[in-house]
Amino acid sequence: MEADVQNIRHYLREQRPAMEAFLRGLAALETPSRDPQAQDALFEILAAKFRGLGFKCLRMPGRQTGGYLLARPARRQRGRPVQLLIGHGDTVWEKGTLEKMPIGQENGRLSGPGIFDMKAGLAQMAFALQAIRALGLEMAATPVCLVNSDEEIGSRESTPAIRRLARIARRVFVLEPPLGLEGRLKTARKGLGRFTLTVRGKAAHAGLDPGKGASAILELSHQIQRLFALNEPEKGITVNVGLVEGGISPNVVAPTSKAVVDVRAPTQEDASRLSEAILSLQPATPEVALEVEGGFGRPPMERTPRNRRLWQDARKAGQRLGLDLEEASAGGGSDGNTASLFTATLDGLGTPGDGAHAAHEFIFLDKLEERTALLALLLLLPVES
């Protein structure tokens, strides 16, 4: 087995120029989440790469997004266990970003929009599978790759497919970027909830007949205080009213108001409790109506026993590569949150760097080869019965 480690490292070292070129090609394609057609070229490049590795590719179009790409070996042994690799091709960057934020290389860093989050992970996915194939190594579980185009906007269209695949998979590897410059793997993620409060009051002239009105803004102010009281930072629970609107004119008692609330919770128990508390809010002032909608779109990814076993396997694989891997909990969600509901899941397997969603986004180039080797070793792990 140690010979396999050395062979993988040697092969990927030789492939480093090709891997970097492949990543640069992906990054040169601007793929904002809300532009479905922008995803086409990236999916074509990925599909061509997977087909070259003997995979069969299926492109599933989206209704409002670019859909997703599914790839699996064209020849596979029926009844064999499945392992799922998940990544996304969409980014938060709009078209035209490359003009002011071009791809660049300096001091061992490769920078550009989407390189860290998470096109480096897509390059790792392809080249880890390429290394295994080129070296004639045998995987105990059939690899299935899903790359979606809506992760940055909640994966609403691709989540049903992720759920179906995670249910049949023995383990899931998520190629999101790791946490921190040292590249800690993500073994826990908070669940993400989004709620909307709409208040309907009664308009009246603010100077002539204020008593005949019922202020939706006044009511919303009471609800905002209730929402902020739900914060428990010591437990990692955050409730943030991030968007507020209402009223029609300064001299009119506001007939309507609205607030959009972001909620993060580390456990499913917390998420359920918070959902119940928010959805059961009642008006604090007379003559107004309060409507509350929403819920948790991404459940928490918790440190379940099966997730802990997979993390320990990753630590051991890292040690074989001379890596002392660390773990972390992330405040943001990913498709790993969904997969973790059904099977052992490990997230943050992308390339270390920094600047997700920020103008200084980059990866450490020497870590690209290293983390690709780690992924290859994880794909070669035996499968628990």
Structure tokens at 97: 């970003």
How crowded is residue 60: how many other Cβ atoms within 10 Å of its Cβ?
14
What integer pLDDT is reported at residue 385 of this predicted model?
Answer: 61
Output the six-digit token pair for 303: 């440190």
Q: What is the mean pLDDT of each run of 10 residues along the chain (385 residues)?
A: 89 98 98 97 98 98 97 89 98 97 97 98 98 97 98 96 98 98 97 98 96 97 98 97 97 98 97 98 97 96 97 97 97 96 98 97 97 98 84
The residues spanned by each domain of the chain are 2-189+300-379, 191-298
DSSP per residue over 334-360, as a string?
Answer: -HHHHHTTTSEEEB--S--EE-TTSTT
For residue 273, the model assigns a pLDDT of 98
CB 149 within 8 A of CB 62: yes
| DSSP E strands, the chain | 55-60, 68-73, 82-88, 104-106, 109-111, 142-148, 169-174, 185-189, 191-200, 238-246, 256-265, 289-298, 327-330, 344-346, 353-354, 362-364
C-alpha to C-alpha distance for 339 and 321, rounded to whole angstroms: 27
Q: Are 287 and 213 in contact (CB under 8 A)?
A: no
Answer CATH for 2-189+300-379 from 3.40.640.10, 3.40.50.450, 2.140.10.10, 3.40.630.10:
3.40.630.10
Q: What is the maximal distance between C-alpha atoms in the chain?
A: 87
Q: Is 352 exposed, middle or buried (CB count within 10 Å of its CB: 0-12, 13-18, 19+)?
A: buried
Pairing of strands 169-174, 109-111: unpaired
Task: Check: CB of residue 112 under 8 Å from CB of residue 23.
Answer: no
Q: What's the pLDDT at 238?
A: 98
Residues 6+ apart with CB under 8 A from 17: none
At 1 the pLDDT is 65
Domain 191-298 has CATH 3.40.50.10490: no
Asked if residue 118 has a cis previous peptide bond (ω within 30° of 0), the answer is yes
Q: What is the pLDDT of residue 3?
A: 80
- pLDDT score at 48: 98
CA dihedral 367, 371, 374, 378 (to 10 degrees): 170
Which tokens sit at 150?
Answer: 């809506």
Handedness of CA 110, 111, 117, 122 (dihedral sign): negative
Q: What is the 8-class DSSP label of residue 118?
A: I
DSSP-assigned states of every residue in 57-79: EEEE--SSS--EEEEEESS--TT
Could you write out the DSSP letters of every residue in 132-149?
Answer: HHHTT---SSEEEEEEES
